[in-house]
Amino acid sequence: MITINLIPQYYLDQERKRTLLRLGTLVAGILLALFFASGGLLTIQSRSVEKNLRATESEISRYEEIAKQIDALKSKKSQIEAKIAVVEKLLADRFIYPKLLEFLTRSLSSPLWFSSLGAQKNGNVLQIQIQASSLGLNGVIDWLTKLETEQKITAMNLGTITNNASTGEAVSNFQISFQYQPQD
């Protein structure tokens, strides 16, 4: 069987060109649609990212303000703690000298008196230097015995004892130094 095509080749070529043009237009349209769709998605995503970025930046600025307030409060807290420490130190040291004098007067035996009393604070301990006199050696011995039994007294050092009998009575002069640590 023989087929005869009665349509001229010219019309077939034109129809083929139109079909190819339609296919090309369709493919180009699909490509353009995909391009614009992907561009739209990118735009939507970038707007979403920008919105998140602005929200994050505002949150960061809010946190920075809170951090500044915290730093200011920490500074105030440290100032208050320093003031409290000073007050506590003053209160702790406030009664050390009256306590020392009360302790010394309670420890004195009757024929003993002080010519001079010096105290120098070294941390929590007072370094005491005393020039004392007594009617006879028994008063000195009694007082030293009382001091040795006290836990508040450490590093006791007795100087030389000199006797003076110019007033008719035997007066013993001596120097003593020790450390006094009050025990609250």
Higher pLDDT, 92 or 150: 150
Higher pLDDT, 67 or 104: 67
Average pLDDT value over all residues in the chain: 87
Residue 3 lies in a domain: no
Residue 131 lies in a domain: yes
Same domain, 77 and 16: yes
Contact assessment for residue 96 and residue 129, using Cβ atoms and an 8 Å cutoff: no
**Token pair in block for residue 160:** 């030389």
Residue 58 lies in a domain: yes
Kindly tell me the number of DSSP H helices and DSSP E strands found in the chain. Answer: 3, 5
> Of the residues 94, 109, 142, which one is the last residue of a structural domain?
94
Strands (DSSP E) contained in the chain are 112-122, 125-135, 153-158, 162-164, 171-180
Q: Is the pTM of this model over 0.75?
A: no
pLDDT score at 60 = 94
Q: Report DSSP state, residue 88.
A: H
Neighbours of 138 (CB within 10 A): 13
- Mean pLDDT (whole number) for 6-16: 84
**Token pair in block for residue 60:** 């960061």
**Token pair in block for residue 159:** 């100087």
Same domain, 86 and 115: no
The neighbouring-strand residues paired with 121 are 126
> Of the residues 67, 94, 121, which one is the last residue of a structural domain?
94
Residue 160 lies in a domain: yes
Contact assessment for residue 143 and residue 106, using Cβ atoms and an 8 Å cutoff: no
| Cα separations in angstroms, 19 against 24, 33, 70, 111, 129 | 8, 21, 75, 139, 123
What's the pLDDT tens digit per position in 14-71? Answer: 989 999 999 999 999 999 999 999 999 999 999 999 999 999 999 999 999 999 999 9
Sign of the CA dihedral running 93, 129, 107, 154: positive
pLDDT score at 141 = 86
Same domain, 112 and 86: no
The neighbouring-strand residues paired with 157 are 177
**Token pair in block for residue 44:** 């939507």
Rounded distance between C-alpha atoms, residue 64 and residue 18, angstroms: 67
Neighbours of 93 (CB within 10 A): 12
> Of the residues 36, 71, 94, which one is the last residue of a structural domain?
94
Number of domains in the chain: 2
**Domain span holding position 85:** 8-94
